Structure 1
Amino acid sequence: MTHRVVALALPSVVPFDLAIAAQVFGSPAEPEYTFEIASPAPDSLPTSQGYALSGLSPLRALCEADTVVIPGCASLEAPPDAVRELLCEVAGRGTRLVSICTGAFILAATGLLDGLTATTHWQDATELQARFPRVVVDPNALYIDHGHVATSAGMAAGIDLCIHLVRTDLGQTVAAGVARRMVVPPHRSGGQAQYIDHPEPAPRGVAHSVIDHVQRHLDSPLTNAELARLAGISSRHFSRCFTAEVGSTPLQWVTAQRVAEARRLLETTGLGIDAIAARTGLGTATNLRRRLKDAVGLSPSEYRRTYRGDVGR
């Protein structure tokens, strides 16, 4: 028996998200699935890229689906009541609901994510949590699968989730074949944390007086007492002022700078892990591995393969 997958396309749908579902579930290479796109505007649906889609199925196609995929939309507004009610209806019949990227906003509007962990693009995670406080938003996960509902992070994480669903439905061999066809890894290590941009706060006050020194001397011990001496105040007063200005303690901030520099060296050089640990003040390869794993969920070798290619360890 084939597994029927229907993608829900609403106005301003993101074509990339929609194409992920079409490529994974709509290829003749996987006859175990059938795929179609349903929309409230089947004759002419505007997309986020300015062009329209036509020849789509009407919304009632969702009623025959085994899995409904909900791609993201440029608009984060709540779906029409008729769409929300239909999603709840098909979920009640046992249909699996899957969101890609900001499709999580549409899925969350049904209430089906209440009390569950969910994810979306990291740039929109805070907004998702604010709008739906009963949902436990994890901004770091690439995807989260609860069986009856699943959500993915942004962009390519939708591929990760869809291949995971193939693995769940049909096994590792078929999933690996889909991954090869799409020229992607069958499983990616780590989570969204490795992609999130954390802008540095503009230095001011006490912090401004030591930041340049820290960034030029990451291979040094850089104790709180030394930094306080550079700032010309007591250690206790320095720690209190720095934390108020930057939002983290001096030790936490220095460690974050060491990890950021280690990431840069992993991306741009062929230095060995021991050399990078020494140059960044992390001391040992073991400490570097632990700190990097805590920060982005990857080992140094995994991080280097992801962002530079395997150039040695």
Structure 2
Amino acid sequence: MGLLESIFGPNIYELKKEGNVDELLNLLERDKSSIQVIEALGWIGDPKAVEPIIKELNNRSYLVRLEATTALGKIHDPLAVVPLINALNDNNFSVREGAAVTLGKIGDLRAVVPLIAALDDRYSQVRKAAVESLGMIGHSSAIEPLQKASNDRDRHVRKSAAKALRRINGDTDELMSLLNDRDRHVREDAAEVLGWIGDPHAVKPLITALRDERSDVREEAAKALGKIGDSRAVEPLIIALNDKRSDVRENAAEALGKIGDPRAIGPLKEKTTDINIEVQMKAEKALRKIGS
């Protein structure tokens, strides 16, 4: 050991940069800067670090245990599946969350049932991670539990459940039902996701969402209808050109330009003199797209 190392400790960054797994494992065994060493081993990704990192899932420090879940997620070795499943019962919710996230990254079917059980965790962060990992693994046995999770008390869990269901079975029904959620943020998020999915079955519910009491939901509904591009939305979007909120009018104009239906020409021309300059500009741009 050199003088500088004896004073300041090992240069973990240099060992990481060199990919010196053996020396890092020696440091880990001596409990030298465990978190930094585990992070470095995860970054390098050598499978021979898996078992030593797994041992750290039993470390007294939850921060070390959490870093171990993250590192194992980077290595993606199925050897870690059972220890990570056990970590879903850790007494610290951050470690349980980390274990759930990593099990989704590894994608082993052995994790499905334990992740379904984690949907009942008292902490929403853990439930959300379990939902997302079930969506990543994509096994049909998770559909019914995820449908229940789409009614979770936490909006982030509900949104993630709808996305996971879409990923597994291609069904937008759960997402469309979230347009009626009690939480405005969930309604807003659902409209946004339906837009990038582009399912024509979502047009009618999104048209209804143009009348939502919250302007941010109406705005996302207008954006989504423009992305889907269905002519059924033309008349409702024309009505939305007169919304009291300029952001809604602006996005309604843009959506009409994307759809390109000539019925919108007259109403869009009226909006070129809107009190809001952004609405004017979007109306003019939409007219150019339609060809007027």
Q: TM-score if structure 2 supplies the norm length? A: 0.31
In proportion to residue count, which structure has more helix?
2
In proportion to residue count, which structure has more strand?
1
Q: TM-score if structure 1 supplies the norm length? A: 0.30
Structure whose alpha-carbon radius of gyration is higher: 2
